[in-house]
Structure 1
Amino acid sequence: MLKKILQKFENPKRPLLGPNVKALRFWGLLLPKNVFKKYFYISMHILVTVFTATEYIDVWFVKSDMNLLLNNLKITMLATVSVVKVSTFLFWQKYWKSIIDYVTKADLYQRRTTDPKKLGLINDFTKYCRKITYLYWSLMYTTVIIVMVQPIFKFVASETYRENVRNGTDTYLQVVSSWVPFNKNTMIGYLAASVYQSYAAIYGGGWITSFDTHAMVIMVFFRAELELLRIDCSEIFGNEANDIEHEVVMSRLKDCHRRHVELVKYSRLFDSCLSPIMLLYMFVCSVMLCVTAYQITIETNPMQRFLTTEYLVFGVAQLFIYCWHSNDVLFASGDLSQGPYESIWWSKDVKYRKDLFLLVAQFKKIVVFSAGPFTKLTVATFISILKGAYSYYTLLSQSQMK
């Protein structure tokens, strides 16, 4: 049953990016050509953007309550990153489309091979992309469901809370803390606010999952392309038992050079689209992790602590996946120069060695993704962010103890 459902996400014309492109279209990041549908999605985006603005307004009203302030802050900042992701994706739509077209074209080109080693590598990477896409979708919507169910659960599970709400000493727990132009402490006002908040949570979750998994799969593609290129470079001259003609050797050399030039071009374009977002996200993630960790330590309700921990896991996983895959691309790019030297270059004429040297010089252009002009997306950077978040957490804990 599940397999049949997942099969509907596949697209034979996009064997690698099929589910990811469908998600981008479903959530309106890739705008349709139909004018009505296009403006429908734009209006949906505007509604969520306006909702994010109301979250900032609500900060002023809850500033006296530290727990509500921290809860609002972590969700508002994550929502801000989502709005920036979508806004930049829409503004730079033509660049994202060109990246998608390049990835699809290069992927289809590689899948024409009959080499079992390369086919096995391609299939492994495709399966990995599916796993990370579906697991990330599951993690994100588990978080969304928890956020939406949390108020209901607290109302049902806590008799004290229900009594406090009835006598007016406590207020209804909101799905997402936000300002509304009416009284949300009445039953009708609360239900109306909850509907809007739930819509924003669901649609915002769709934004995050479609954008993040799309970006992560493209990172995996760059790593796969680099590893496949290394294999092709090692086979430029064939093997000792099979002498390759001059025209074939030159064709292979030119093909490897062309592919790497294209790879560097589109990896830099991809980085230019992603880098500003990752710079903002690193700052937001540091604050979000600090706030969530602090809430876990001060929370006394076991269920509430579990829900907050799940939110923390999602925040850590989101940043870690970016840094991990960027780190993989960096190492694959560094190892690419070994490809030509794994061929039987030593048995060939000097004129081939000169061409091979030029190819190795081209491979010296390292492919790596960044977070603004300040740092690279690597595992070392991820560890530094965790250390920074822990420092902020310690500072916040000590300030509250005084």
Structure 2
Amino acid sequence: MRLLKKLENAERPLLGPNVKALQFWGLLLPKYRLKRYFYLTMHFLVTLFTFTECVDVYFVKSDMNLLLNNLKITMLATVSVCKVNTFLYWQKRWTDIIAYVTRADLNQRNTKDEKKLALIKKFTLYCRKITYLYWFLMYTTVVIVVAQPIFKYAFSKNYRDNVRMGTETYLQVVSSWVPFDKNTIIGYIAASIYQTYAAIYGGGWITSFDTNAMVTMVFFKAELELLRIDSGNIFGNIGRPVDKSIVLRRLKNCHRRHLDLVKYAQLFDACLSPIMLLYMFVCSVMLCVTAYQITIETNPMQRFFTTEFLVFGVAQLFIYCWHSNDVLIASEELMKGPYESTWWSHTEHRKDLYILISQFKKSIVFSAGPFAKLTVATFISILKGAYSYYTLLSQSQMK
């Protein structure tokens, strides 16, 4: 609990742990030149390692099991590299998004409205839950990937005997190419150290980027729901109407907030959309490959490890689609806000209210390139596609 409290930041009550994770793993580059070069070097080494994974595909193409293991890890690593490189390239965009989320969140926390405060508390607690649960799931996956060779050597006598006789090679942490013989003890240890470093650092990349993006999506939903409450209170209550000057100020405030919301949602989508397009394709193949490995794997321990990897892959895509779907629903229901006010008793503001409603008609939804929207329906379509690929792969292996 003390560690979790240290992650909090009073200046960023919503994004505190997420921004600290981005800073710790070097996605938000520090101002100091030495630290900046240090993180850029770390990024380069992991990017180089991902390239060696791709090269290794050529050398293991004759072994179906090794090829599938390589593909599922390499494709996930490729997405991670793209996430980080785009984040670094669009650093200014991402810092603007983070600054907007922090600024808008702090403005809403200054309210005295108990209903809004309860909603803000609810969303903040939810953001902490998905952040810490996602970190736990990712780091569990990393530990399993790193420990898998040790477990197999410790609990499989046949594997130990085969390695000693030279009929089977050492199981790698992550399949990758190295410019030396990794089947010797020294070569294997050296390759394992580099592979472990890449797995741990790559896991940090994924958790910091994904949880920041997910919490930002939750913020957009929260801001839409808070905006609906405020637009419903433009004219006050039936028994307690407000002055015309206050009405005009509230109308302008709601209009400005929605303009900012649409602007930064589009900016966020521009940064995330190319990554999600790549990830949708990668996830389809990864889920297919992992599901196939579960069916052909005979070792219970190996099957458990593969199943955990499958759960992580499904959860990663599902969380994105689920939260994007929530934002879409909240933006479509925002129009109800002005109609929930006492608009009928203020006919002189009918034109202003109509302009506000027209502004609220703009739907906010995140996409995966120009081809698909990130929704639950899209997630189901991806699962259907992955199952189709799995069936095709299974039938081709049976022939």
TM-score tier (shorter): over 0.9
1:363 correspondence with 2:360: yes
The SS at the match of 1:174 is coil
Picking from 370, 392, 395, the partner of 2:392 is 395
Which residue in the other structure is 1:310 paired with? Answer: 308
Deviation, structure 1 residue 4: 1.1
TM-score by length of 2: 1.00
Q: In the aligned structure 2, how far is the partner of 1:57 from the partner of 1:264?
A: 42
Which residue in the other structure is 2:187 paired with? Answer: 189
Which residue in the other structure is 1:209 paired with? Answer: 207
Segments ≥4 residues shifted beyond 2 Å? none
Q: Deviations over 1:92-142 (max 9, x none)?
A: 000000000000000000000000100000000000000000000000000
Identity of aligned residues (%): 76
Which residue in the other structure is 2:5 paired with? Answer: 7
Q: How does 1:264-343 map to 2 (within 5 A)?
A: 264-343=262-341
Which residue in the other structure is 1:38 paired with? Answer: 36
Q: In the aligned structure 2, how far is the partner of 1:243 from the partner of 1:288?
A: 58
Q: In the aligned structure 1, how far is the partner of 2:48 from the partner of 2:3?
A: 34
Q: Deviations over 1:3-36 (max 9, x none)?
A: 1110000000000000000000000000000000
Q: In the aligned structure 1, how far is the partner of 2:55 from the partner of 2:327?
A: 41
Which residue in the other structure is 2:58 paired with? Answer: 60
Picking from 374, 378, 382, the partner of 1:385 is 382
Deviation, structure 1 residue 332: 0.0
Which residue in the other structure is 1:199 paired with? Answer: 197
Q: In the aligned structure 2, how far is the partner of 1:107 from the partner of 1:259?
A: 12
Which residue in the other structure is 1:73 paired with? Answer: 71
Deviation, structure 1 residue 290: 0.1
Q: In the aligned structure 1, how far is the partner of 2:210 from the partner of 2:303?
A: 27
Aligned length: 399
Deviation, structure 1 residue 168: 0.3
Deviation, structure 1 residue 352: 0.7
Q: In the aligned structure 1, how far is the partner of 2:112 from the partner of 2:2?
A: 28
Letter in 2 for 1:251: R
Letter in 2 for 1:135: L
Q: Deviations over 1:236-290 (max 9, x none)?
A: 0001111210000000000000000000000000000000000000000000000
Q: CA RMSD in A?
A: 0.4
Ranges in structure 1 where 5+ consecutive residues have no aligned partner: none
Q: In the aligned structure 1, how far is the partner of 2:261 from the partner of 2:346?
A: 28
Deviation, structure 1 residue 195: 0.2
Which residue in the other structure is 1:110 paired with? Answer: 108
TM-score by length of 1: 0.99
The SS at the match of 1:223 is helix
Q: In the aligned structure 2, how far is the partner of 1:298 from the partner of 1:112?
A: 57
The SS at the match of 1:237 is coil
Q: In the aligned structure 1, how far is the partner of 2:112 from the partner of 2:147?
A: 51
Q: In the aligned structure 2, how far is the partner of 1:6 from the partner of 1:325?
A: 24
Deviation, structure 1 residue 390: 0.1
Q: How does 1:132-147 map to 2 (within 5 A)?
A: 132-147=130-145
Q: In the aligned structure 2, how far is the partner of 1:161 from the partner of 1:400?
A: 24
The SS at the match of 2:383 is helix
Which residue in the other structure is 2:93 paired with? Answer: 95
Q: Deviations over 1:62-105 (max 9, x none)?
A: 00000000000010000000000000000000000000000000
Which residue in the other structure is 1:47 paired with? Answer: 45
Deviation, structure 1 residue 353: 1.2
Deviation, structure 1 residue 181: 0.5
Q: In the aligned structure 2, how far is the partner of 1:243 from the partner of 1:276?
A: 48
Which residue in the other structure is 2:223 paired with? Answer: 225
Q: In the aligned structure 2, how far is the partner of 1:45 from the partner of 1:243?
A: 58
Q: In the aligned structure 1, how far is the partner of 2:286 from the partner of 2:101?
A: 33
Deviation, structure 1 residue 226: 0.0
Which residue in the other structure is 1:130 paired with? Answer: 128
Q: In the aligned structure 2, how far is the partner of 1:365 from the partner of 1:334?
A: 8
Which residue in the other structure is 1:155 paired with? Answer: 153
Q: Deviations over 1:286-328 (max 9, x none)?
A: 0000000000000001111011000000000000000000000
Letter in 1 for 2:77: A
